Each structure stands twice: as C-alpha cells, then as structure tokens.
C-alpha cells in the first residue's frame, strides 16, 4: 500500500488551458458565467484544479489561443499561482491558408507559414520553460485524387525534420494522430503507426501522443499503449472520452473500464515512473458542464483508474497467466477494477493536507461565485470554432 500511495503521489495530470474557456459543438457554443477572458485567468482557474486535487501542477497552452506579449511573464504568473506551463500545443488548423493542409499543403508558401508557426511554438517553449511541443495536424484530403497521398507524407516529413532540428536540450515533440475529421477521405497522420514511423525516423526527441478520442470505435487502445511504451515511444496522453467520434467528453465518463485497462498497461510498462516521461494530459472541451469542476472530476477519474491499475496483484496475475488459468487471470484483473478506491484516495488527500473530496471542497470554496461576479466585460475565451 505504501508503494501504491507513493506512485499515486508522483503522478501528475496536466490540464488544458482551452478547457477553461467557452467551447461547444459546431452547432452552438454556450457561454458560461465567470469564464476567463485571457490566459492569465485561465491559469488562475487551472490553479484551482491543482489546489483541490494536489496532482494537476501543469497547464498546457494552445497557440495562438493563449498568445501573450510576454511569455516569461505568463510563466511567472503561473508559478505565483503554484502551477507551471506544460505542453505547448500548436495550431495550424484555423487559418484560411490551411484549407488544403498546413505542412502538407501543395503550396510551398503555406507549408513555410505552417512550419514557421511550429518553430515559433519552440520559441515559446524556450520562454516558458516548457519541454514539450504537441503537434496535431488537421491535414488531409476529402476526395480520392485530390492530392498525392505519398507527396503529402514527404512534405510532412520535411517539416517535422526542420522542427525536430530546432528542438533544444531537454525538449521534445509529441506527434498526435486522429483517424478522420476535418478531413474525411484520407488524413495525413491518421493512426499511431504513421505517427510512430515518423518519430522513429527522427529520433528520441520525437514521440507519439495518444488522444483517446482519436480512434475508430472498437480500437484496442491499451494495445497501442503497451506497444508504444515497449518501444520507448509513448510520449503521453490526451485523455478524454467518447461515445461516437472525437466527443472530447470527460475522461472516464464513457468507459471507465477502458481507462483502467489503459492505465494497467501504463503501470505494467513502467509508464508511471517519472523517468519514463509519459505526460498525462487532458484534452477536453466542456460544452455543457461547468469548466473547473469538470476538470476536477476528470483528474479524479484518471487518478481512480490509476489506483485500480496499481491494485492489480501482478504476482497472482503472472502465476495465473503462466499456468494458462484463463479465468483465474481474468478474476485477478477484475478484482482490482471492482475495488472501490475512493476511500484510499480520500485518505491520500488528507495525508497531504487536502480535503478528502475535491468536488465538494471546490463547490464550497466560493471561487465560482467570485469569478462569476468579477469577470464581467471583456471577451470570454473560447476556442473560436
């Protein structure tokens, strides 16, 4: 139990700045009260999530949504709030120029502009002290014959190589994949295999990030996790959950059992060790639920799945597996999943001087009432879809 608690204390979950702003579907963005008007206020909200959970000490930024004049000052502000800057997320999907792609665009001028943006993100890493760049490309084509699939891979490789060479000591990039949307016929980085192949070619500073919402229904995500970890290529997660496509719902809401299976492979592969460098990030858009408690709930869901994964009796499991005891092995696995870990996590929080239930503690704190009253006027942050 001491080992389990130590592992849980060492786990860090990163929240995304965009989860604190308004977001919605392509049909409607429902504005909420108290939503941040700038990156400084987003960080203040993220600091609340850390204050009540104790395990969310970093915040991912998204450029240009979090563009500021002075990034060092933003990082200082974060530190004063007790949090740090996590991954820098690039955005080459919201400019008119990118209609036919960003780094894979047939036009050299557009490719240059996209790559320059990625390089600018590395500058922001330098200024904020962030060690991780996250790359997601909406690039792809809608119709057979629209562009040369193979040439697009060449253009992608060329841009990635330029960004890779710009990375400094201790910096890395994570390449994200997604099977479809916004491109509907062929996406340029549609799956982990494509991302993995590019990363392997580039070297150790390039790793794959698994966004749990970016797979076809029925995909065995834990297999991908096991494989990438074994190869030293699992850079991290963008956690969220989905019922249909890229729903960006709260992680563990749709399928807590899947989250447990993923976390078991993480534990099994040594991915919880800080040296493994696996970033546990959330990538969610709370479009009907309140933002800060939505993030707190998500952090707790990951923590619960992690605790259950740590509870798997690995010795008993290995014994059953080596004896070919199918039902016995499955029972060991399910015993851990069916354990109520909430008392253990409440105890862990109390040991660290936190309230046992972050959800009620936040609700009682009056923070929401305060921001709802204070944040009037100005433009609420949103992801601008």
Long-range contacts, stretch 219-223, CB < 8 angstroms, 24+ apart: 221/258, 221/261, 221/262, 222/258, 222/261, 222/262, 222/264, 222/265, 223/265
Say whether residue 248 binds Mn ion (CB under 5 A).
no
Residue 237 or 362 with smaller CB distance to ligand RM4: 237
Tokens (6 digits) for 85: 């800057």
- What is the closest distance, in whole angstroms, from the C-beta atom of residue 312 to ligand RM4 in the complex? 29
Residues 12 to 51 in contact with Mn ion, rule: CB under 5 A: none
Residues 12 to 41 in contact with ligand RM4, rule: CB under 6 A: 18
The site string for ligand RM4 over 192-231 (x = CB under 6 A, - otherwise) reads -------------------x--------------------
Q: Is 292 helix (H, G, I), strand (E, B) or coil?
A: helix
Q: Give me the residue label for tokens 């009260």.
A: 33
Residue 141 or 336 with smaller CB distance to ligand RM4: 141
Q: Which residue among 41, 45, 131, 176 contacts ligand RM4 (CB under 6 A)?
A: 176
HEC secondary structure over 2-45 = HHHHHHHHHCCEEEEHHHCCECECCCCECCCCCCCCCHHHHHHH
Residue 195 or 336 with smaller CB distance to ligand RM4: 195
Residue 277 or 382 with smaller CB distance to ligand RM4: 382
- What is the closest distance, in whole angstroms, from the C-beta atom of residue 348 to ligand RM4 in the complex? 30
Q: Is 172 helix (H, G, I), strand (E, B) or coil?
A: strand
Residue 142 or 330 with smaller CB distance to ligand RM4: 142
HEC secondary structure over 37-76 = CCHHHHHHHHHHHHHHHCCCCEEEEECCCCCCCCHHHHHH
Q: Which residues of 238-275 are buried (b: 16+ CB within 10 A; e: fewer)?
A: bbbbbeeebbbbbbbbbbbebbbbbbbbbbbbebbeee
- What is the closest distance, in whole angstroms, from the C-beta atom of residue 333 to ligand RM4 in the complex? 30
Residue 25 or 360 with smaller CB distance to Mn ion: 25
107: left (phi over 0), alpha (psi -120 to 50) or beta: beta
Choose the contact partner of 89 out of Mn ion, ligand RM4, none; CB within 5 to 8 A by kind. Answer: ligand RM4
Residue 8 or 61 with smaller CB distance to ligand RM4: 61
Choose the contact partner of 159 out of Mn ion, ligand RM4, none; CB within 5 to 8 A by kind. Answer: none
Residues in Cβ contact with 75 at an 8 Å cutoff, skipping those fewer than 6 apart: 84, 85, 127, 128, 129
Q: How many residues line the site for Mn ion (CB under 5 A)?
A: 3
Say whether residue 211 binds Mn ion (CB under 5 A).
yes
Distance CA 92, CA 94 (A): 6
Distance CA 3, CA 8 (A): 9
68: left (phi over 0), alpha (psi -120 to 50) or beta: beta
- What is the closest distance, in whole angstroms, from the C-beta atom of residue 215 to ligand RM4 in the complex? 12
- What is the closest distance, in whole angstroms, from the C-beta atom of residue 283 to ligand RM4 in the complex? 5
Distance CA 288, CA 294 (A): 10
Distance CA 308, CA 338 (A): 8
Shortest-Cβ-distance residue relative to ligand RM4? 136
DSSP3 helix / strand / coil % (the chain, rounded to 5):
50, 15, 40
Say whether residue 89 binds ligand RM4 (CB under 6 A).
yes
Residue 211 or 304 with smaller CB distance to ligand RM4: 211
The span of 106-114, 207-215, 335-343, 348-356 binding Mn ion (CB under 5 A) equals: 207-215
Residue 239 or 362 with smaller CB distance to ligand RM4: 239
Contact residues for Mn ion, defined by CB under 5 A? 211, 238, 283
Contact residues for ligand RM4, defined by CB under 6 A? 18, 62, 89, 136, 176, 211, 238, 246, 283
């Amino acid at each position: 139990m001491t080992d389990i608690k130590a592992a849980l204390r060492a786990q860090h979950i990163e929240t995304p700045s965009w989860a604190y702003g308004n977001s919605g579907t392509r049909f409607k963005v429902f504005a909420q009260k108290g939503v941040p008007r700038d990156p400084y206020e987003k960080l203040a909200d993220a600091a609340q999530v850390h204050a009540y959970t104790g395990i969310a000490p970093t915040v991912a930024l998204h450029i240009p949504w979090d563009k500021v004049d002075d990034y060092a000052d933003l990082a200082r502000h974060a530190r004063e709030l007790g949090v740090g800057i996590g991954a820098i997320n690039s955005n080459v999907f919201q400019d008119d120029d990118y209609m036919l792609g960003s780094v894979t665009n047939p036009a050299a001028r557009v490719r240059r502009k996209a790559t320059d943006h990625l390089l600018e993100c590395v500058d922001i890493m330098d200024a904020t002290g962030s060690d991780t760049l996250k790359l997601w490309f909406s690039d792809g084509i809608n119709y057979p014959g629209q562009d040369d699939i193979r040439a697009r891979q060449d253009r992608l490789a060329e841009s990635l190589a330029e960004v890779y060479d710009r990375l400094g000591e201790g910096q890395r990039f994570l390449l994200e994949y997604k099977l479809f949307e916004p491109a509907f016929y062929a996406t340029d980085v549609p799956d982990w295999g494509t991302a993995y192949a590019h990363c392997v070619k580039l070297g150790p500073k390039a790793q794959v990030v698994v966004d749990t919402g970016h797979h076809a229904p029925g995909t065995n995500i834990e297999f991908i996790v096991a494989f990438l970890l074994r190869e030293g290529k699992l850079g991290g997660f963008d956690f969220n959950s989905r019922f249909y496509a890229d729903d960006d719902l709260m992680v563990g809401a749709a399928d807590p059992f899947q989250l447990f299976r993923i976390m078991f492979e993480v534990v099994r592969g040594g991915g919880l060790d800080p040296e493994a460098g696996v970033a546990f990030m959330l990538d969610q858009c709370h479009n009907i639920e309140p933002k800060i408690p939505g993030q707190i709930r998500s952090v707790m869901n990951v923590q619960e799945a992690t605790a259950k994964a740590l509870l798997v009796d690995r010795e008993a499991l290995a014994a059953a597996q080596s004896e070919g005891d199918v039902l016995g092995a499955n029972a060991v696995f399910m015993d851990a999943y069916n354990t109520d870990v909430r008392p253990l996590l409440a105890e862990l929080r109390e040991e660290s001087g936190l309230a046992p239930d972050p959800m009620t503690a936040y609700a009682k704190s009056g923070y929401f009432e305060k921001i709802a009253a204070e944040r009037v006027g100005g433009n609420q942050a949103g992801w601008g879809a």
